[in-house]
Structure 1
Amino acid sequence: MKWPTWFLKFRENLLPARRLIVIEADTPPQKLPWRNLVLAREDNEDWAVAFRCPCGCGKRLELMLIEEVTPNWSISIDSEDRPTLHPSVWLKRGCKSHFWLREGKVIWV
């Protein structure tokens, strides 16, 4: 179910920031947590980050972090394990969500 943007913004302000879970693998697991992101890291190299679409549709999002792949994203993690992604995430099909993830919070476009 796709929630209205005003509700998503309201909910985002109430809930705690998303955290990052790091696993030793070259791909994220199929089962993902409800809010947090999973980073697949193998031999100190970040491969991909996966999480559920924050709109509520439940779609699995897997973003590649290696520079040789197009498109790719970069991730930074602050001292409280809150992730920031760059650039924004824009789904052109399905729910068509478009958002930034900054310090574990979704900022809707």
Structure 2
Amino acid sequence: MTLFRNLISWVRGLFSERRRRVEFIESDELPAQLVSRNLYVAREDGELWSAGMVCPCGCGRRLEVMLLKGVKPRWDLSVDKTGFPSLHPSVWVADGCRSHFWLRNGKIHWC
């Protein structure tokens, strides 16, 4: 079933130019409800804490990655001039749907 959902999501991505935009939250934690086409970034006093999104496979799972320097594992966030985010390294969900993808310039690239 997960493979089928991943396939449908991938096909939808081929025909959709909608990309994720970044939304900064002035807090040390992410909001309780996340909109599926946004990447939320929690920051406090200019320091980035974490980024979160709804899993792009369609399972509805909430994904959160750490951006704080000094924690492991951690990700780097970059945002281009038009507001489209990229995360490095890739995001890999180790359990459940087992999604593995890159977020580059607001687009999901499946591994």
Structure 1 length-normalised TM: 0.93
Provide the identity percentage: 48
Q: Residues 42-95 of structure 1: CA distance to partner in whole angstroms, max 9, x if unpaired?
A: 111110001000000011001100121111001000011100000000111000
Determine the C-alpha separation between the residues in 2 that align with 1:103 and 1:13: 15
Structure 2 length-normalised TM: 0.91
Alignment of 1:1-109 (within 5 A): 2=2, 3-15=4-16, 16-109=18-111
Determine the C-alpha separation between the residues in 2 that align with 1:8 and 1:34: 13
Determine the C-alpha separation between the residues in 2 that align with 1:85 and 1:26: 19
- Deviation of 1:6 after TM superposition, in Å, equals 3.5
* Number of residue pairs the alignment of both structures matches: 109
Cα RMSD, aligned residues only:
1.3
- Deviation of 1:7 after TM superposition, in Å, equals 2.4
Aligned residues of 2:25 and 2:42 also touching (Cα < 8 A): yes
> What stretches of structure 2 of length at least 5 have no aligned partner?
none
